[in-house]
């Protein structure tokens, strides 16, 4: 039993004529008649008595008519509601982000997304890069905010911005008043840094190695907030993402850019290659890209 057969059956029942039903449905009369006979064969009953110029419902036809109308009505409702849900952004979006970006990028972006689409359901996962990539590949999350480099055959990356790394120092540190800091100025400084389980920790270590800057690490921690607190206490200096610096209003810490060869990291969105990007995901992409690049 197929939907178009039910539509032809209902049209014939309402018109009490095969020919008028064919005109209403916009098909040839023999085609409509053939489809109704196929429906009768499938159901094993006769639906109409053929009366020359017209048709009349049999008992089986009268029993099927309200059921056919309910089925067709449900299909029309599903089609209508589907488009309405798409237009209104109803649905679920699972977003991932690395810990050194999540607090600074997600709240404003997801708040805007909920404002645009109040019916949407948002699930957030904050985790390390490796775990987020695995979750995307396994279709457990739709999109993730991460940094580069990412080398995976099943991941598509959209780089949406660059986040400079700033030197964070206690406000009483003599280097802060100089206005410009070079790599040479940092060579003998005690350092507080993130553990390399974070991609940011790996990036900072890679930058220092590339510039032959030996790190005098006095503390290696897993939380960026802990790094900032240790800097405030004067245990050492650190390289901190600019997005974190903008959210830091503690008067006992200050930030300055390296005058030359300043490090930075990419801000990127990762997607599962081969998957259709959900409408909520595309709007999230627009919002977060605009927030990263407000101009």
* 275-291: pLDDT as tens digits: 989 889 999 999 999 99
The phi, psi pair for 258, rounded to 5°, reads: -65, 135
Mean pLDDT of 70-96: 78
Residues contacting 29, CB < 8 A, separation 6+: 18, 19, 22
List every span in the chain annotated with CATH 3.40.190.10: 91-159+266-292, 164-264
Does CATH number 3.40.190.10 belong to domain 91-159+266-292?
yes
Q: What is the pLDDT of residue 85?
A: 57
3-state SS, residue 191: strand
Helix axes 279-292, 102-116, angle to 10 degrees: 130
51 to 15, 21, 38, 56, 256: CA distances (angstroms): 13, 15, 19, 7, 93
List every span in the chain annotated with CATH 1.10.10.10: 3-88
Stretch among 11-25, 59-73, 214-228, 240-254 having the lowest mean pLDDT: 214-228
Cut 0.85: pTM above it: no
Q: Would the pLDDT of 61 be above 60?
A: yes
27 to 2, 47, 60, 293: CA distances (angstroms): 16, 20, 25, 55
Q: What is the pLDDT of residue 215?
A: 65
Cα 271 from chain centroid (whole Å): 8
Q: pLDDT per residue over 155-202, tens digit each?
A: 999 999 999 999 999 999 988 877 678 878 887 888 888 888 888 888
Q: Would the pLDDT of 126 be above 90?
A: yes
Q: Would the pLDDT of 34 be above 90?
A: yes
Q: Greatest CA span in the chain, whole angstroms?
A: 105
Q: pLDDT per residue over 88-108, tens digit each?
A: 666 889 999 999 999 999 999
With bands split at pLDDT 50, 70 and 90, how would you rate the model's confidence at 82? low
**What's the chain's average pLDDT?**
89
Give the integer Cα–Cα distance in Å for 253 and 242: 13
Q: pLDDT per residue over 223-280, tens digit each?
A: 999 999 999 999 989 999 999 999 999 999 999 988 877 889 999 999 999 998 988 9
Q: Which CATH class is domain 164-264?
A: alpha beta
Does CATH number 1.10.10.10 belong to domain 3-88?
yes
Q: What is the pLDDT of residue 179?
A: 66
Residues contacting 262, CB < 8 A, separation 6+: 164, 165
Alpha-carbon dihedral angle through residues 223, 224, 225, 228, given to the nearest 10 degrees: 130
Q: Is 187 left (phi over 0), alpha (psi -120 to 50) or beta?
A: alpha
């Amino acid at each position: 039993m197929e939907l178009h057969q039910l539509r032809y059956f209902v049209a014939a029942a309402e018109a009490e004529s095969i020919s008028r039903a064919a005109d209403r449905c916009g098909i040839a009369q023999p085609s409509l008649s053939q489809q109704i006979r196929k429906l009768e064969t499938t159901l094993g009953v006769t639906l109409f008595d053929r009366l020359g110029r017209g048709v009349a419902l049999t008992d089986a036809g009268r029993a099927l008519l309200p059921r056919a109308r309910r089925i067709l009505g449900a299909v029309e409702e599903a089609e209508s509601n589907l488009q309405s849900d798409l237009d209104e952004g109803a649905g679920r979006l699972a977003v991932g982000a690395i810990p050194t970006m999540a607090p600074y990028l997600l709240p404003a972006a997801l708040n805007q997304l909920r404002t645009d689409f109040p019916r949407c359901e948002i699930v957030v996962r904050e985790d390390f890069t490796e775990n987020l990539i695995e979750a995307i590949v396994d279709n457990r999350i739709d999109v993730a905010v991460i940094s580069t480099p990412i080398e995976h055959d099943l991941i598509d990356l959209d780089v949406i911005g660059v986040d400079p790394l700033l030197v964070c120092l206690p406000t009483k540190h003599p280097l802060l008043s100089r206005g410009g800091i070079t790599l040479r100025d940092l060579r003998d400084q005690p350092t507080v840094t993130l553990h390399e389980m974070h991609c940011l920790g790996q990036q900072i270590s890679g930058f220092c190695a590339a510039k032959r800057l030996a790190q005098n690490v006095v503390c290696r921690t897993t939380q960026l907030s802990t790094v900032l607190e240790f800097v405030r206490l004067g245990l050492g200096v650190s390289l901190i993402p600019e997005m974190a610096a903008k959210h830091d209003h503690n008067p006992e810490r200050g930030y300055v850019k390296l005058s030359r060869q300043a490090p930075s990291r990419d801000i990127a969105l990762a997607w599962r290659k081969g998957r259709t990007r959900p409408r909520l995901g595309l709007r999230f992409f627009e919002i977060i890209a605009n927030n990263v690049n407000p101009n």
